Amino acid sequence: MNNAIFLDRDGVINNIIISKGLPLSPSKFEEFKILPGVRESISKLKELNFYCILVTNQPDVSRGKIKKETVVKMNEYVKNELGLNDVFVCFHDDKDNCQCRKPKPGLILNASYKWNVDLKNSYMIGDRWKDIEAGRLAGCKTILIKSNYVEEIKTKPDFELDSLFSAAILIKKLNNEKK
C-alpha cells in the first residue's frame, strides 16, 4: 500500500481572499497564485515517497460564480506545476448532500481506492475544519494550517501549524521516528 498527503487547495496551495473573515477562492485564473514555499514542500513530501493528491471543494461552480473550465484550468496548472499525483474535486454545494463534499470523506476515499492508499499512514492537510473532519473520518492523521478566518474549528486536528512547509518538516520528522 502507498502513503499519501491529501491537500486542500485554497489557502494551503494557493492564495485566497478573506472577506468578512471567511476565505474566498480566486474567481479568475489571473488571480490564482501558488503560495510561497509550496513547491519546496511538495518536493520534500514526494522525496519521502508520499503521493500528493489535491482534494478540493469548489462549490462556486454550482453557485454560478465561476465556470467549471476555469476551476479545471487552475487544478491542471497546480497539478503540472507541483507534480501532484492527482486531483479530486467536488463541485457540489452543501444542499446537494453528496458524499464527496468535505467534511464528508468521499474525495479522500475515492483517491485512496484509486491509488491504493494506506489511510492510517497518510495525512490530510487543510485550512478549515471541514478538511480536518474529512481526514479524520477517512482515518488519516490531520494537520490544520492556521488561518485568520472567523470560523469555529469544529474538529480538533492532530497538529496545527503555520504553513505547508512546516507540515512537510513535521511529516519528515515523524517519518524518520518510525524507522
Mean pLDDT of 131-156: 95
| Residue 52, helix vs strand vs coil | strand
- The whole-number pLDDT of residue 22 equals 87
- The whole-number pLDDT of residue 28 equals 93
- The whole-number pLDDT of residue 176 equals 86
Nearest-angstrom CA–CA distance, 21 and 5: 27
Query: Is the alpha carbon torsion for 69, 71, 72, 77 positive or negative?
Result: positive
Nearest-angstrom CA–CA distance, 121 and 5: 9
Q: Rounded mean pLDDT of the chain? A: 95
Domain regions of the chain by residue span: 3-165
* Marked catalytic residue, from 10, 60, 127, 131: 10
The answer to whether residue 131 is catalytic is no
| pLDDT band with cut points at 50, 70 and 90 for residue 14 | very high
CATH architecture of the domain 3-165 equals 3-Layer(aba) Sandwich (3.40)
- The whole-number pLDDT of residue 152 equals 87
Q: Are strands 22-24 and 17-19 parallel, antiparallel or unpaired?
A: antiparallel
Q: Cα dihedral angle (26, 55, 129, 36), rounded to 10 degrees?
A: -50
The answer to whether residue 10 is catalytic is yes
- The whole-number pLDDT of residue 179 equals 66
* Marked catalytic residue, from 8, 60, 127, 131: 8
75 vs 20, more confident: 75
Mean pLDDT of 23-41: 95
Q: pLDDT per residue over 49-98, tens digit each?
A: 999 999 999 999 999 999 999 999 999 999 999 999 999 999 999 899 99
The answer to whether 43 touches 163, Cβ cutoff 8 Å, is no
